[in-house]
Chains A and B, each alone.
Chain A
Amino acid sequence: MAALARANPIVVLLAGLLVAALLWLIIAPWPPGVTGVMGPKRVFLAAILSGITLGALYFLVASGFTLIFGLMRNVNLAHGSLYLLGGYIGFEVADRTGSWLLAFPVVFIIVAALGVVLQYVVFRRMEGEELRQTLVTIGLSIVIADLLLWIWGGKSYQILTPDFLSGPMDLPLITAVRSDGAAVYLRYPRVRIWILIAAVVVGVAMWLVINRTRIGMLIRAGVDDREMLAASGLPIQLVFVLVFAFGAGLAGVGGIVGGTFQSISPGEDTRFLLASLVVVIVGGMGSIPGAALGALIIGLAEQIGLVYAPTYSVVFTFLIMAAVLAFRPQGLLGARR
């Protein structure tokens, strides 16, 4: 960090100022001048929080995607289908048992099992043939999408929020000060805050597993040099299956989360596949912190765009992606190979 500051003092100063301005915008009550330009502070804060929570959802889906790519060089274009399948199964479990929490382990196990089948039956047979794997995953995603349409129909499903998570909560962020001096705090949907916390926990846990455990060491070694790891006689196929199962399960769990604060319907699979692709391209293929950063940037760009420039909001995501590809093709936190 200090070396960076010595090398580019002006860039670091500008970045520092930007962060300070952003913090001021978030924490301080806005004077009328700022409100005049940017609209009420409530809207700004809600957009930021929506961006972060949407980023949390993107992270859940994209982290599995990036992990699978990093380790197996397999661009799994059926990842969105796993998301959608998880959402539908989650809906069925939550609907029949009335327990939202139960849906998470059930979906994780079922979708992870499907991931094991996919890896063991399909991808193991075409190891190293990237084009073939990519085409097969496209084919699988189409087949799975049609099967889901056949089973669950074209309607959109909403997974109901459990009572303990429904309704709003007050956040310690001041949106305005009333004339009598009382502060007005930001009200925000409770379920979104908890999903954000859960995503952070999952992210930190993944980071710890990858950087602090033996299995994480195997995964990192595999990402760096798969052939060498295999040559060392380590059970690389087992690692592949485990990682694929975990990534698939995470996508399935993402489906429950998506179905709870948005909805699940045909077409969501490609939407989340595209979002995952953009996230890992921005963040860097194969990097978990990269997926987190990419998801945050894309989520924020989408939501802030939606509020302040609704007509162009769709473009922002792809502008960011194009800029990253132009100036840092390996992604913001991706390693150059």
Chain B
Amino acid sequence: MRRSFLAAAAAIALAMPGAALAQETIKIGILVALEGAFSEGGRDGVRGVELALRQVNNTAGGRRIETIVAPTDTRPDTAVRQARKLIEQDGVDFVIGPLSGSEGIAIRDYAKTVPDKTFINGSSGALETTWVDPAPNFFRFHTDGAQWGVGLGQYVVEQKRWRRIATVSADYSFGYTNFLGFAVDFCRAGGDIVRRFWVPLGASDYAGVIAQLPDDVDAIYLGLGGTDAINFLNQYAQAGAQMNFIGGTIMADQTVLTSRGRAKDLLIGTPTSGMISDENPDAAWTAYVAAYRGAFPEGQRFPSPTIFATGYHIATLAAIKALNDVSGDLSGGQRRFQQALATMELDTPLGKIKLDQNRQAIGPVFVNEVTARADGSLFNRMVKRADNVTQTLGLTPEQFRALGLPSRDNPDCARLRAGR
């Protein structure tokens, strides 16, 4: 009974004339983490999509756009389950997302099983997603976690004179990737990493790690994010230790800098780096921030957009531009749409972004320093900007491959330092 019903439904769908399809709305699935450490960032990601769609009045390529949100909890299996739901049950045309590193790797593999659908990454930043055996229908229009580390290591060694550090980072693909980007730069500039701690994503008790942090180092690199970062800072403040910090990309994001309590003040003066800078003077960025503030009332948004909002926003901008380029034509397994995505040069709040042959963004990366405004609120002050950062961090693909994939023990700091 059920099977015959499905067959009938399929027959009706096949029989529908193509002309009628063109008038139909386009359904976009938003795959976003709304549970777990990054739930606040995830909400901001949804805002980023909404903002981009509002600016074009929910229309692109002559067709109306409808969105369906599929919540995940940063676990790869949930991400795949929700992506399947979006595609098989909700019948979306393409998916924007996911948010977190390991989700991205899982969605890359899932994408290969549905080549006629398209995936535009939201804000997940693991290297492998577009570097190892990439999916032809998976696109990432923002720089990845390793790219986000570019310039920070050198800045720390040369400006801050911090050469001996210990690190505490999240024990999953994005944690490894973001750490690798920083460590390559830091070790090549002559820095030394004396001890590495890895804590699981979503851990809540950091007392054990905090007690073990060495006190004979110049600084501690913190590669945590979301509520993990907030929990760590609170417990660090409780333990009463005082140390210089170096922030991974999501350690000093607005999601952490606007948390309640005073523990976040520990971050003042912390150098960090990433794909955005809160007070980037660029006209495109200030216009984006103004639009973000105008679109959502205060209290229902962050003081300025987070990297999660920006990643999802840029992904939506890319989708809108590609839909306009192909006049809303998603027929033929979306090949024209995918071609338009792969070859476009996209105007974004961060400047022009284009993709490499792996469909991974080449774009700007910012080194920032956490600074307090007069009213006590914190933001990322821009200290340095590097443009056209490639996924191989300026190395040749062979050199970059020789570093090995990001992992707990990679990169080897002593080797990088010696190879300078």
Nearest residue (CB) in B for A166 is B238
- Give complex CA distance A177, B276 in Å: 47
Binary interface profile of A, 189-218, with partner B (CB < 8 Å = 1, else 0)? 111100000000000000000000000000
B204's partner among A47, A192, A262 (CB-CB below 8 A) is: A262
Tell me the B190-241 residues at the A interface (CB within 8 Å).
204-205, 207-208, 210-212, 227, 230-231, 234-235, 237-241
What's the minimum C-beta distance from A195 to chain B, rounded to whole angstroms? Answer: 11
- Give complex CA distance A164, B331 in Å: 65
B227's partner among A161, A168, A263 (CB-CB below 8 A) is: A263
What's the minimum C-beta distance from A331 to chain B, rounded to whole angstroms? Answer: 26
Contacts of B238 in A (CB 8 A): 161, 166-168, 189-192, 261
Interface Cβ pair total, 8 Å cutoff: 87
Binary interface profile of B, 1-36, with partner A (CB < 8 Å = 1, else 0)? 000000000000000000000000000000000111
Q: Is the CB of A158 within 8 A of B261?
A: yes
Q: Does B305 contact A (CB under 8 A)?
A: no
B239's partner among A153, A168, A303 (CB-CB below 8 A) is: A168
B237's partner among A54, A149, A167, A268 (CB-CB below 8 A) is: A167
Q: Is the CB of B261 within 8 A of A160?
A: yes
B208's partner among A166, A188, A303 (CB-CB below 8 A) is: A303
What's the minimum C-beta distance from B356 to chain A, rounded to whole angstroms? Answer: 34
- Give complex CA distance A192, B210 in Å: 14
Q: A166-B237, A306-B208 are in contact. Are A154 and B230 (CB under 8 A)?
A: no
Contacts of B48 in A (CB 8 A): none
- Give complex CA distance A155, B207 in Å: 21
Q: A42-B211, A158-B261, A306-B208 are in contact. Are A189 and B71 (CB under 8 A)?
A: no
Q: Is the CB of A188 within 8 A of B239?
A: yes
- Give complex CA distance A267, B227 in Å: 14
Q: A160-B260, A307-B212 are in contact. Are A167 and B207 (CB under 8 A)?
A: no
B211's partner among A54, A167, A262, A307 (CB-CB below 8 A) is: A307
Contacts of A54 in B (CB 8 A): 205
Q: Is the CB of A158 within 8 A of B211?
A: no
Query: Max chain B CB contacts within 10 Å: which of A46, A154, A192, A268?
Result: A154
Q: A154-B34, A307-B208 are in contact. Are A187 and B239 (CB under 8 A)?
A: yes
Contacts of A188 in B (CB 8 A): 239
Q: Does A173 contact B (CB under 8 A)?
A: no
- Give complex CA distance A161, B227 in Å: 16
Q: Does A265 contact B (CB under 8 A)?
A: yes
- Number of A interface residues at 8 Å Cβ cutoff, please give it: 33
Q: Is the CB of A187 within 8 A of B208?
A: no
Q: Is the CB of B39 within 8 A of A154?
A: yes
Nearest residue (CB) in A for B34 is A154
Q: Does A99 contact B (CB under 8 A)?
A: no
Q: Does A156 contact B (CB under 8 A)?
A: yes
Q: Is the CB of A265 within 8 A of B227?
A: yes
Q: Does B103 contact A (CB under 8 A)?
A: no
Binary interface profile of A, 204-238, with partner B (CB < 8 Å = 1, else 0)? 00000000000000000000000000000000000
- Give complex CA distance A156, B234 in Å: 13
A155's partner among B40, B204, B210, B240 (CB-CB below 8 A) is: B40
- Give complex CA distance A307, B210 in Å: 10
Contacts of B40 in A (CB 8 A): 155
Contacts of A149 in B (CB 8 A): 35
What's the minimum C-beta distance from A191 to chain B, rounded to whole angstroms? Answer: 6
Q: Does A43 contact B (CB under 8 A)?
A: yes
What's the minimum C-beta distance from B206 to chain A, rounded to whole angstroms? Answer: 9
Q: A158-B230, A188-B239, A189-B238 are in contact. Are A153 and B211 (CB under 8 A)?
A: no
Q: Is the CB of A263 within 8 A of B231?
A: yes
Contacts of B235 in A (CB 8 A): 189, 261
Q: Does B86 contact A (CB under 8 A)?
A: no
B212's partner among A43, A153, A167, A189 (CB-CB below 8 A) is: A43
B240's partner among A43, A187, A268 (CB-CB below 8 A) is: A187
Q: Is the CB of B231 within 8 A of A158?
A: yes
Binary interface profile of B, 230-270, with partner A (CB < 8 Å = 1, else 0)? 11001101111100000000000000000111000000000
Q: Is the CB of B205 within 8 A of A262?
A: yes
- Give complex CA distance A286, B208 in Å: 31
Q: Is the CB of A47 within 8 A of B39?
A: no
A158's partner among B37, B71, B205, B234 (CB-CB below 8 A) is: B234
- Give complex CA distance A331, B311 in Å: 53
Contacts of A43 in B (CB 8 A): 211-212
Contacts of B230 in A (CB 8 A): 158, 263
- Give complex CA distance A172, B106 in Å: 51
Q: Is the CB of A153 within 8 A of B240?
A: no
Contacts of A160 in B (CB 8 A): 260-261
- Give complex CA distance A269, B238 in Å: 25
A154's partner among B35, B212, B237, B239 (CB-CB below 8 A) is: B35
Contacts of B237 in A (CB 8 A): 166-167
Contacts of B240 in A (CB 8 A): 167-168, 187, 189
Q: Does A76 contact B (CB under 8 A)?
A: no
Q: Does A141 contact B (CB under 8 A)?
A: no
Q: Is the CB of B35 within 8 A of A46?
A: no
What's the minimum C-beta distance from B98 to chain A, rounded to whole angstroms? Answer: 15
- Give complex CA distance A137, B208 in Å: 34
- Give complex CA distance A266, B71 in Å: 14
- Give complex CA distance A166, B262 in Å: 11
What's the minimum C-beta distance from B169 to chain A, rounded to whole angstroms? Answer: 14
Q: Does B144 contact A (CB under 8 A)?
A: no
- Give complex CA distance A307, B197 in Å: 11
- Give complex CA distance A54, B261 in Å: 23
Q: Is the CB of A154 within 8 A of B211?
A: no
What's the minimum C-beta distance from A43 to chain B, rounded to whole angstroms? Answer: 5
Nearest residue (CB) in B for A156 is B227
- Give complex CA distance A289, B230 in Å: 35
- Give complex CA distance A330, B81 in Å: 42
A-B contacts, 15 listed (Cβ < 8 Å): A47-B211, A54-B205, A149-B35, A154-B35, A154-B39, A156-B231, A158-B230, A161-B234, A161-B238, A167-B238, A167-B240, A189-B207, A189-B240, A261-B238, A262-B205
Shortest 6 CB-CB distances between A and B: which pairs? A168-B240, A154-B35, A46-B211, A189-B238, A156-B227, A262-B204
Given contacts A189-B235, A306-B208, A307-B211, 19 further A-B contacts (CB under 8 A): A39-B212, A46-B210, A50-B205, A50-B208, A50-B211, A149-B35, A156-B227, A158-B234, A166-B237, A166-B238, A167-B238, A167-B240, A187-B240, A189-B207, A189-B240, A191-B238, A262-B231, A263-B204, A303-B208
